[in-house]
Amino acid sequence: MTGFSRVAGKLQSSSALRLTYNLSLRLLRPLRSLLSFLSAGMDDLLAPDDRPFDLDPGSRSRPLLLLYDADDGGFEDNRGESTYLVPYSWWIKTRNNVMEAGGTLYTTTSKEDFAKQILLEMRRENCCKSENDEEGFSGGEFALVPEATWLQTLKSHGDSIGVNDIGTVLSANSQMHDVFPLQIRLSVSQETKSLRARISLMDNPFDYYRKACCIFRPETELLRIWDFSGQTTLFFVDDGNEFAADSPRHSGREILLELQVHGLSNSGNGMQRKEDDTTFADSRMGGTFSSGILRLNGSIDIFQPDGRTCNLSESDGYHRGTGLLGLKGLQNLGNTCFMNSAIQCLVHTPKVVDYFLRDYRKEINSTNPLGMQGELALAFGELSRKLWSPGTNPVAPRAFKSKLAKFAPQFSGYNQHDSQEFLAFLLDGLHEDLNRVKQKPYIEIKDAADRPDEEVAEEYWQSHLAQNDSIIVDVCQGQFRSKLVCPMCKKVSITFDPFMYLTLPLPSTTMRSMTVTVVSTDGVALPSPLAVSVPNCGSLKDLKRALSVACFLRDDETLLVAEVYNNCILRYLEESYDSIDLIRDDDYIVAYRLPKGSETSVLVEFKHERAESLIARDNYSGMAFTRMFGFPLVARLTGLSCGYDVQQAFLKLINPFLKPTEDASYNHDDAEHSVSAYEDSEMEDTQSPCDAESDAEMVDGPNEFEFFLGGSSKLRMSEPVVVSRARRSLEILVFWPEKMFEKYDMCFLGSLPEIFKPPSFTRRPPESVSLYKCLEAFLKEEPLGPEDMWYCPSCKQHQQASKKLDLWRLPEILVVHLKRFSYSQFLKNKLETIVDFPIKDLDLSSYIANRSSSSSCCYVLYAISNHYGGLGGGHYTASVHHGHNLWYEFDDERVFPINEEGIKTSAAYVLFYRRVPAA
């Protein structure tokens, strides 16, 4: 019973309009199951913001209140927090430390007339709730409680249940098997000075009406209703028995509202169920067993949306008071498994869910331009309450997704996204909506100078809190100490920055074997495939270092590494700190030995082409075409002036491929003599090709190599070669006539080994690494990348400084993101490394830099966001600890128990830890 005096405004309408509305309301009920089935694919069509009311009564959290005035012929509507009708005896036993407002007592009489409606006369008593009222009354007693208090009570009661409380829980939960909505029309009776509630069969489905008949037991003993919601007192003046001036004054004016009834559908207030009432056994109504049905053998069946059942007995450690709340699934709206996984982890975060089950609306910041004026926080709060209310039906998070898409438009569609990225945006949006700071002051951070770290860190933290103060900051944010050292002047800069989560790399304990073809450019040595071993998490710098040792690279040489694809160079691997994960096992990599110091010279890349013929079916006619072969050769030219220089560079590169003559075998020791002799013979024929065009034509004959600049225009020996200053590179296509294949051995030029060729019928053993090793790799000192260079205030220029991170302040909730995905311009990859993470005893005391901190550094795991599959077709789930050593898997709509031993898999992606006192 909410919002009785907070009426937004009147909507004038005719009697025909009222009739249409009432008919529409009744006609919608038979369509609920069909609409809920179709709604998964009609997200935009059935957006909650566009509907006058929720089509699923079981999931409604803010009912529609309609105020009907018979004289004015109009309706007034308002939305407020739901009010729940519960057994009073259950309420006083299970509320624990949950605080509620003082209760107002109503003595109530009920009767049922021939029009199939129950009439309740609620007379207010001049007393408030006291301990003496909890016992000594033999009639039916009920309590009206607000939704937030009701959910807090349920959760607090479930969390406090111990191993020895099974009998108590069973008897208490026998009255809490479901929640159902009940439509009630409330008006003021001037004759009896009371509130009159009318429950009609016209407003409710038949089974709900039958349940109401059992609950209120017409024509029987007196009933008492305690109102702890404070809503009915809005009808009265100054806590007296006189009605307020704006209260309904006659029976023609009613409030049509929806009341949520909990724990009363089966046994009510100690009454027996009617023998012919079979509707009460509907297991789909849900309840505190959260998709379970109690059986006589002491077990519980967990029902899944796909029809499967999973049985858990008390001997398995399953207690009826624990798996009861918070075990609802989330509907997949279309590639939203990433969102469902992150939400389930967050709504099971202890202090976060407790916050949103309370009255958090008073902290909403409606003026923050960085937030959504509270819309995102309200949507998440409503979703949290739906997930923690009793019942089994999966929740469709459409309203929440719609609000999030306004804050982060990249989530507006139905594409697959990253659960960690989604979580980061969600936490940021909730923080801005709930930021307690209305006006952010400007704060200038002082230089650390030689002050103690403790003093500087506290100054940074207080400056952060002066602008950012919310439940997200209280629970999820910690603090880094960041130290930068300039490589030139050794200037040291220390800052203390907040963090929301830790993104840890996955170092590998194994080595990776890689086969790379090393090509010499001195015209002497043949290409040589070399197998080297590098760290599995290494960089291109590690690969070059290993190749330099394997090929005996001289001090005056350097390596240019390139990936070859389809007889062309696909890309040059020049960034030393790029991960070798960019190189796949089936790639072809070539390393060219080039003179050191020639990086400013023109880089010439020679690609090879030959003629082919296709014989037609009649064997008389054919069609000639060309195709590329081999891998490119590379050289750097300093004195490039004309085509003759290009020709001579190419002849030098292919000199090692010369076939031995009949009278002498090929010897590497004679290679320099061979290339000199070849060049002398060519010089005799061509004389000075740069001097005249006619002399160049003598060499450029039909049986010699032909060169094409950029693959199109033919390059003549006397033509000058123009190179773009921006690129300083040339692509030359070399046409090989058939005569040249008799002179050169192409077997060395045409085959390249793959990076790694696994043996047949063998599998690599799964890799495993400790979470502590991941943390150490994250905290180790390393140089900044070229794109993240630091501006040194001493040198007055950007420097590639070394950076060292340390943990300074640890948060209450520690979110650990395992960096399984790597992205680059050319490649996306996922690491399937199994991370051995602690479950109950994560101790970070040896990694915290603040030795004076008194906060505990011990954590226990309570949730995991898992990712299965690859980058193209992966799927997200969530593994959640639900108390009493019980773990559950949340796979969209499906929720089922799992063993603790099974949560450590290669799918673990985001880990959620909560702080515990040190042992």
Catalytic positions are 337, 875
Other residues' Cβ atoms within 10 Å of the Cβ of residue 77? 17
| Upper half-sphere CA count for residue 707 (Cβ side, 13 Å) | 27
* Class of residue 766 by CB neighbours under 10 A (exposed 0-12, middle 13-18, buried 19+): exposed
Looking up tokens 């009915």, which residue turns up? 232
- Kind and range of the H or E element at 792? strand 790-792
User: What distance in Å separates the CA atoms of residue 595 and residue 660, rounded to the nearest whole number?
Assistant: 28
CA 51 to the chain's CA centroid: 29
User: What distance in Å separates the CA atoms of residue 529 and residue 589, rounded to the nearest whole number?
Assistant: 10
User: What distance in Å separates the CA atoms of residue 36 and residue 333, rounded to the nearest whole number?
Assistant: 12
- Kind and range of the H or E element at 28? helix 15-28
Is the CB of residue 575 less than 8 Å from the CB of residue 560? Answer: no
Nearest one of 327, 300, 339, 335 to 316, comparing CA atoms: 300
3-class secondary-structure state, position 200: strand
Cα separations (Å) of 166 from 317, 318, 319, 326?
11, 10, 7, 19
Is the CB of residue 542 less than 8 Å from the CB of residue 553? Answer: no
Tell me, what amino acid is at 852? S
User: What distance in Å separates the CA atoms of residue 110 and residue 390, rounded to the nearest whole number?
Assistant: 28
Nearest one of 389, 445, 455 to 148, comparing CA atoms: 389
User: What distance in Å separates the CA atoms of residue 290 and residue 303, rounded to the nearest whole number?
Assistant: 9
Other residues' Cβ atoms within 10 Å of the Cβ of residue 240? 9
User: What distance in Å separates the CA atoms of residue 197 and residue 183, rounded to the nearest whole number?
Assistant: 10
3-class secondary-structure state, position 75: strand
Compute the residue count for the chain.
919
Q: Among positive and negative, which fits the CA dihedral 457, 462, 468, 471? A: positive
Is the CB of residue 35 less than 8 Å from the CB of residue 46? Answer: yes
Tell me, what amino acid is at 583? I
Nearest one of 649, 668, 678 to 743, comparing CA atoms: 678
User: What distance in Å separates the CA atoms of residue 63 and residue 186, rounded to the nearest whole number?
Assistant: 14
Q: Strand 894-898 vs strand 887-891: parallel, antiparallel, or unpaired?
A: antiparallel
**The two three-digit tokens of residue 785, written as one number:** 């990348």
